[in-house]
Each structure stands twice: as structure tokens, then as C-alpha cells.
Amino acid sequence: MRITLTDAESLSVAALEALGYDSGSSRTITDHLLDCELRGLEYSGLARILSIGDRLAAADGPAEAPRVTRESPVSAQFDGGDTIGYLTALAATDTAIDKARGTGIGAVGANRTWYTGMLSYYAERITAAGMVAMIASNASPWVAPTGGTEARFGTNPICFGFPGEGVPVIWDIGISEIIHAQAVLAHRTGTELPAGSAYDASGSPTLDPLEALQGAFVNWGGHRGSGLGIAVQLLGALAGSPVLPGELRDFGFFVLAVRPDLFVDPETYRRSVSEYAELIRSTRPLDPAQPVRVPFERSAAVRAERRARGWIEVDDVVLAALEELIGAPATAHAPESDTRQPRRNP
């Protein structure tokens, strides 16, 4: 169903407030979720609110505000207090930027958090400050290493960001064929997973999302992706998480921000990044109809296009569940050409 960006934002904020988040936190989380929607990652967008609700219902108690437990001029460590990662990781990222502004390097770890989200969201903040970023976040063991069928590390995204003269170069990649949010959304909507993406609890290949959630996802990239998954798991442990976090809890988030002028002239470096990106684009393509792309450019272009058109597509099941969450009656299915305007709380 189509929904305007304005209404999507209002619906998200209202739903998060219904889950107990204050207005400021709801808007911060919403900004991240809508960025996912705008960039074509619908499974990590508004649908994630339903998973947040499930997680809050299963929590042992209320979350505590993230707090710094260790600190030096170049580093800090946050105890997330079981606060959602959209808030904890943002605090860690902004602290890394502040540290780097003063000393040239900011290295920050955060633990006791969950759902850290799209790492490129944080990398954009760092590159916008003119700095280089490296970010990693481990998670519950949902993914099997190459050669195995039991989960031993999370979907474990890792991200690098480099400031350019225009669009930054950002590479943000998870290490599994599908991510947790895709399996959860597939289960909600009654759809199958792609072939070759998951195992059930007995180690047999499965297309069933519930069986996959009880089993393991297939890692991406063979032994290379498997090794990267192990590295990210241990970077999360460096940030203070257990080596194997519990189910949707105790994630570790590590962020490094580096000022280029520690090594080179920053303007020269930004120009070099943009010039190199152009060299990548100008590579002779295998298929002339599909030119070579630079990481992040497709994502940024899709976001710009969707912002300009002013609406996004939201699955009917997700939209109905969000409307129910805020106490609005479900709206009858509208034609695909219609733009949805959800009802508000009275």
C-alpha cells in the first residue's frame, strides 16, 4: 500500500510512542527506519516497529539510559542498559565524532543493546563530519559458518565510509544471505525465503522463515564471509558483548572515526576519494546496459527518488498491524495507484 512520507513518519512516531518511547526517542528511531524505507530496505523499515514491540514485551525489565563506563581522550565505552541500538549506537557514533574532532581519532564501543540497524546510517554522520568511518555490530548467533549448519555468529554487518567532494563512498554489508529482519517479515506475511538462504534446526535446507529462525541462516561469500562474520563477532566482544549474545540482547557495537588530516591534507583526500570513485564508474562493463557502480550510490539515488515522489510502499499486513497498535481502525485495501493516508489516534 502506498503511504505518503509525512503520514509514514506520523504513523511511526505514534506507534513507537504507543510502545512507550518518548517523543524525542520516537522521532530518532523513526528517522532511521524511514531512511531504510527510502533506500529500499523495507524489511528494516516500518515493519521493524512490530519486532520492537515483540522484543519489549519479552524484556526482563525497563531499559536504562546508556551511560559511559570507561573513557579516555580518544575512546569511550557505553553500557547500553538494554536500550535499543538506534539510540545507543547513535550516542556512540556522536561520541566518536566528538573524540575525533579533539584528538583525530574516536574509538567507541557499546554493549547491552539490540537492533543497531543500518550501519551506513551512522557512517553518513561520520563522513559528513569529514572523517573516515569503520563500524561493526555483532548480534545473536543466527548464521552458520561455512561448512556448518548451526548458528555461531550474527548477521554481523561491517561498514566503511570515506568522505568525498559529493556523495561519500560507503560500503555496508551483512555477512549472511538474508538478514534476521527479512526472515521475520517473511514469517509475518506468509512468504517463503529464497532457496539456499537458510537451514532448519536439524541442518536441512529450508524455505520456511520460522524454521530458519529456529535454525540458521547461510553465510554470504563462503569462507571469506564466514571469516568476516567471526571478525565482527569478536569486534563486538571488544565493545563488551558476550562472544555469543543472547536472543536479541547484549549486542556489541564498535565505531571508529578518523580525521584524515592526521595523515594527509583533508581536501586532497576528499578529492582523491571522488576521483577514485569516478575511476570505478568508468570501468569497462561486462554489460553496457549495466555500468559499474560505486558502493552507496544506488542507495543514495533510490532515496533521492523516493523523497522526490513523496511516498513509499508498505505491506498491507504491516500497515494494518501498526494501525492496530496505535488504536486506529484498519483501512480497507485501496488500489495500488492510491496513496494511503492512515487514520490517527483520536
Q: What is the pLDDT of residue 60?
A: 87
Q: Which of 109, 133, 93 is nearest to 250 (CA)?
A: 109
Residue listed under C-alpha cell 492510491 = 338
> What is the predicted pLDDT for the residue at 46?
97
Among left, alpha and beta (phi > 0; psi -120 to 50; other), residue 317 is: alpha
Q: How far apart are the first and last CA of the chain?
A: 23
Please determine, for residue 337, whether its predicted confidence score (pLDDT) is greater than 50.
no
pLDDT(341) > 90: no
Question: Helix (H, G, I), strand (E, B), or coil: what is residue 12?
Answer: helix
Strand partners, 71: 76
Q: Which residues contact 268 (CB under 8 A, 6 or more apart)?
A: none
With cut-offs at 50, 70 and 90, classify the pLDDT of residue 328.
low
Q: Which residues pair with 66 in a beta bridge?
A: none
Tell me the domains of the chain and their CATH numbers: 2-58+297-340 (1.10.1530.10), 67-176+219-262 (3.30.1370.60)
Burial readout 42-77 (b: 16 or more C-beta within 10 A, e: otherwise)? bbbbbbbbbbbbebeeeeeeebeebeeeeeeeebbb
Say what the alpha-carbon torsion angle 197, 203, 206, 208 is, to the nearest 10 degrees.
-100
pLDDT of residue 306: 97
Kindly state the average pLDDT of the residues 19-26: 97
C-alpha cell of residue 283: 570501468
Q: What is the pTM of this model?
A: 0.92
Phi, psi at residue 278, to the nearest 5°? Answer: -70, -35
Per-residue pLDDT at 332 exceeds 50: no
Q: Say what the pLDDT of residue 270 is.
A: 98
Asked whether 178 and 187 are in contact (CB, 8 A), the reply is: no
Cβ within 8 Å of residue 223, ≥6 positions away: 146
Share of the chain above pLDDT 70, in %: 95
Between CA 37 and CA 181 the distance in angstroms is 13
How do residues 36-79 score in pLDDT, each as one tens digit? 999 999 999 999 999 999 999 999 889 999 999 999 999 999 99
pLDDT 10s digits, 145-199: 999 999 999 999 999 999 999 899 999 999 999 999 999 999 999 999 999 999 9
**Whether pLDDT at 206 is above 90:** yes
Give pLDDT tens digits for 234-265.
999 999 999 999 999 999 999 999 999 999 99
State the pLDDT at residue 220. Answer: 93
pLDDT of residue 344: 34
Please determine, for residue 287, whether its predicted confidence score (pLDDT) is greater than 60.
Answer: yes
How long, in residues, is the chain?
346
Percent of the chain with pLDDT over 90: 93
pLDDT of residue 78: 98
Distance separating alpha carbons of residues 154 and 167, to the nearest angstrom:
30
Cα–Cα distance measured from residue 270 to residue 10, given in angstroms and rounded to the nearest whole number: 37
